[in-house]
Amino acid sequence: MVLSAIILTPLAALFLTLLIPARNDKAIKAVSALAGAVTVALAAYVWFKFDPYSTARYQLVERVEWVPTFGISYYLGVDGIGVLMTMLNAIVFLTGALSMWRLELRVKEYFAFMLTLVIGVFGVFVSLDLFFFFFFYEVAVLPMYPLIAVWGSTRKEYAAMKLTLYLMAGSALLFPALLSIYYKSGLNTFDMVALSGHKFSEAYQIFVYPFIYIGFGVLAGMFPVHGWSPTGHVAAPTAVSMLHAGVLMKLGAFGILRVAMPLLPAGAAYWNGPFAALATCNIVYGALVALKQDDFKFVIGFSSVSHMGIVLLGINMLTIDGMGGAVFQMFAHGVMTALFFSAVGFIYDQAHTRDIHEFGGLSKHVPIASAFFIIAGLCGMGVPGFASFWAELLVFIAAVKTMPLFGVLAVVGLIISALFMLRVLKHAFFGPANPKWQGLRDVTAWDALPRAILIAVLILFGFIPRLALALIASSVRALAGGI
């Protein structure tokens, strides 16, 4: 029942939030933070309960018939990948709630929408029924609209609309594809485990695979349909950016891993070349565009495009190393971007500008707040000692081995990502201290808490990558073995 509990915790918090009067904003924030802490604990419980060496691929399974005549069941379960992602979401949820401690505008609704988003994301990560998977997927996407449009900044309404329409267009591709899988199998079930046991004809797989891949790919920030993501990142408020780049984009990649590949292995094998090429574009192109951005959040936004390219590249290698690296990168990038946005949010909330040229020598004025950003930046450059290093390493190793051209191009992209990160560090945090920012307040212990949690996670998995890799190993092996 623990998986249901993970979904129900934010749901309960949502009801509680709706009941608390709006003026009591501290209580509302506390409810969310508490729910975050509880989900972290539950995710940790799942982590320890999950046996990566067991032969059962999906564990902690719960199943209730939901619409029996239509083959829909409330069917939850996790494999190693699901466990890792659940933990990621719990961490980002908790730190995101803590990062919004200073929010004053329409607090109640903010947290209500955020909790809805979190429910959707948890639901996706633990669903084994295709219907519920898609159901939660949509639940997760929609709250982004009000979250960005109300609490955002910088062309927020445009960004919110753009994001929603892009993602819904992605869903429009998924809708017919998922339903056609249901009918094509003839099994009268949306149970993904059962469906993945069915062997679809190769021609059919090749036909339908791109719809699912691109449908989910939109959310994963796939080139060339990534346009919503930087704009959305920039416009979103801190915690939403955190959840958005940190977790929501992972839903896309997770969808590919959970739905597209196990169900349509021949499709994956057929299409992996072109999609790997697009993923390489993601990496190199994203980094290049980031090089020309002056807004902090745009830089991070495009760096996300670049980093998600690494995930997609790894996935398309169809090898254990590549996919394992990709999954690990989903986790590492999630935590890292959360840290990025959390760090930027802290500075923006005070300075009300994000133009890197307007800053300078921030490390002097706010050394600790700057250190948070710098650490995230180092992580983004793929410096060892942080989780993302290992993830990228595995993906690159797999890519150079499997598709040397894309692999080498992707590795060369590392130089560009160093360039754009260093550019930001140089302009904003180093150089002569701009006296304009004399009055900036540095973080208090309470502000530092969420950021410190994220850094601790990055370093923990950077030093002991085996923690995560052992967890996902058998799941990834099963996944890669199926193709």
Partner 1 sequence: MSSGTLALLCTHAPLVGCFGALVVLRRAPRAAAALNILAMLASLGAALAIFAGSNHQPPTIISLWLSSEGVPISFGFLLDGTNQLMGIIVALIALCIQVYSLGYMKGDPGYARYFGLHGLFAWAMLSFVYSANLLQAFVFWELVGLASFLLIGFWFEKPSAAAAAKKAFVMTRIGDVGMFIGLILLLSSTSTLDIAQLMQASTLASIPDARLTLIALLLFCGVVGKSAQFPLHTWLPDAMEGPTPVSALLHSATMVAAGVFLYARFHPLFVAAEGVSNIVLVIAIITAILAATIAMVQRDMKRVLAYSSISQLAFMLLGLGAGSLYAGVFHLTTHAFFKALLFLCAGAYIHQIGSNDMVTMGRQGAAKLRLVSAGLVIGAAALAGLPPLAGFFSKESILAALHGAHANAFVYGAYLASFLTAYYTFRMVFLVLRPSDKSVLPAEEHEPHPHGDVTGSMKLPIAILTVGAAAAGFAGDFIAKLIGAKALHPTYGEMAPAIGIALAGVIVAFFEFGRKDAAQQGFITRVGALDTLFERKYYLDEIYDKVAGGLVSLIASVSAVVERGVLDGTGDLAGNLTIATGDATARMQSGRLQLYIGSAVLLIVVFCYFVGGY
Partner 2 sequence: MPKDLLLFGPELMLLGGALLVFIASIAKEPKSEATWGMALLASFAAVGLSLLTLHERGAPFFPGIYRVDLFSQLLKLGLSALLCGVILISRNLPSVRPSARVDAPLFLLLSTVGMMMLVSATELLTMYVSLELSAYGLYIAVALSSKPRGSEAAAKYVLFGATSSAITLYGLSLVYGTVGSTSMVKLSGALVAGADPLLMIGMLLMFAGLLFKLALVPFHYWAPDAYEGAPHQMVAFIASVSKLGAVGIVARFAAMLPGGDSATLFIALSVASMALGNLAALAQTDLKRLIAYSAVAHAGYLMLGYAAMSKTGLAAVIFYGMIYGASSVLAFVVLSALGRDGENPTMESISGLYQRSPLAALMMLVAIFTLAGIPPTAGFIGKWYLFAAALQRGQFWLVLVAAAASTVALYYYLQVVKAMYLAPPEDRPRVELTFTDSLAGLAALGFVIFYGVYPAPLWELAQKAAALLG
Residue 378 contact partner, candidates partner 1, partner 2, none, CB within 5 to 8 A by sort of partner? partner 1
Binding window for partner 1 (CB under 8 A); candidates: 1-9, 109-117, 140-148, 394-402: 394-402
Which region among 23-31, 89-97, 141-149, 216-224 touches partner 2 (by CB under 8 A)?
A: 141-149
Give every CB contact of residue 95 below 8 A, 6+ residues apart in sequence. Answer: 36, 242, 338, 342, 450, 451, 453, 454
Task: Look at the chain and count its residues.
Answer: 483
CA distance 3 to 39: 10
Q: How many CB atoms lie within 10 A of CB 41?
A: 13
Nearest approach, Cβ of 138 to partner 2 (angstroms)?
Answer: 5
Q: Which of 135, 270, 348, 463 binds partner 2 (CB under 8 A)?
A: 135
Residue 206 as a binder of partner 2 (CB under 8 A): the answer is no
- Tokens for 310, please give them: 């690494």
Of residues 132 and 406, the one with the C-beta less far from partner 2:
132
Alpha-carbon gap, residue 389 to 3, rounded angstroms: 30
CB burial of 24-40 (b: ≥16 within 10 Å; e: otherwise) equals: ebeebbebbbebbbbbb
368 binds partner 2 (CB under 8 A): no
Identity of the residue numbered 189 = T
Note whether 166 and 218 are within 8 A (CB).
yes
**Which residues lie closer than 8 Å to 14 by C-beta, 6 or more apart?**
112, 115, 116, 119
477 sits near partner 1 (criterion: CB under 8 A): yes
* The binder of partner 2 chosen from 171, 280, 363, 474 (CB under 8 A): 171
Per partner kind, with CB cut-offs from 5 to 8 A, the member of partner 2, partner 1, none near residue 179 is partner 2
Tokens of 133: 């998977």
CB of 483 to partner 1, least distance (A): 14
Contacts of 440 (CB under 8 A, 6+ apart): 347, 350, 351, 362, 365, 366, 369
Question: Could you say whether residue 131 binds partner 2 (CB under 8 A)?
Answer: yes
Q: Checking phi first, is residue 400 left (phi over 0); if not, alpha (psi -120 to 50) or beta? A: alpha
Single out the residue of 288, 440, 460, 483 in contact with partner 1 (rule: CB under 8 A): 288
Q: Where are the beta strands (DSSP E) in 59-188?
A: 59-67, 72-78
Q: Smallest distance, Å, CB 26 to partner 1?
A: 30
Q: Which stretch binds partner 1 (CB under 8 A): 13-21, 100-108, 287-295, 335-343?
A: 287-295
Q: Which residues pair with 35 in a beta bridge?
A: none
Q: Smallest distance, Å, CB 155 to partner 2?
A: 13
Nearest to 88 by CA among 130, 118, 132, 115: 118
| Residue 213 interacts with, from partner 1, partner 2, none (CB under 5-8 Å by kind) | none
Its sign, for the CA torsion 378, 393, 264, 122, is: negative
Residue 113 binds which of partner 2, partner 1, none (CB < 5-8 A, kind-dependent): none
Does the protein bind partner 1 through residue 377 (CB under 8 A)?
Answer: no
Q: Can residue 425 be called a binding residue for partner 1 (CB under 8 A)?
A: yes
Single out the residue of 136, 254, 285, 359 in contact with partner 1 (rule: CB under 8 A).
Answer: 285
Q: Is 16 in the site for partner 2 (CB under 8 A)?
A: no
Q: Is 401 in the site for partner 1 (CB under 8 A)?
A: yes
The tokens describing 453, both together, are 């949690």
CA gap 203, 206 in Å, rounded: 5
Kindly compute the dihedral angle of the four CA atoms of residues 201, 206, 212, 213, in this order, to the nearest 10 degrees.
140
**In the beta sheet, which residues pair with residue 127?**
76
Select from partner 2, partner 1, none the partner in contact with residue 164, using the beta carbon and a kind-dependent cut-off of 5 to 8 Å: partner 2
270 is a contact residue toward partner 2 (CB under 8 A): no
Out of 449, 473, 478, 483, name the contact with partner 1 by CB under 8 A. Answer: 473
Q: Which of residues 101-140 bind partner 1 (CB under 8 A)?
A: none
Q: Which of 15, 70, 158, 446 binds partner 2 (CB under 8 A)?
A: 70
Report which of 57, 63, 14 is spatially closest to residue 39, judged by C-alpha positions. 14
Residue 438 binds which of partner 1, partner 2, none (CB < 5-8 A, kind-dependent): none
Binding residues vs partner 2 (CB under 8 A): 66-70, 131, 135-136, 138-139, 142, 145-146, 149-150, 157, 161, 164-165, 168-169, 171-173, 175-176, 179-180, 182-183, 211
Binding residues vs partner 1 (CB under 8 A): 162, 165-166, 224, 226-228, 231, 285, 288-289, 291-293, 319-321, 324-325, 361, 363-364, 378, 383-385, 389-390, 393-394, 396-398, 400-401, 407-408, 411-412, 414-416, 418-419, 422-423, 425-426, 429-433, 465-466, 469-470, 473, 477, 480
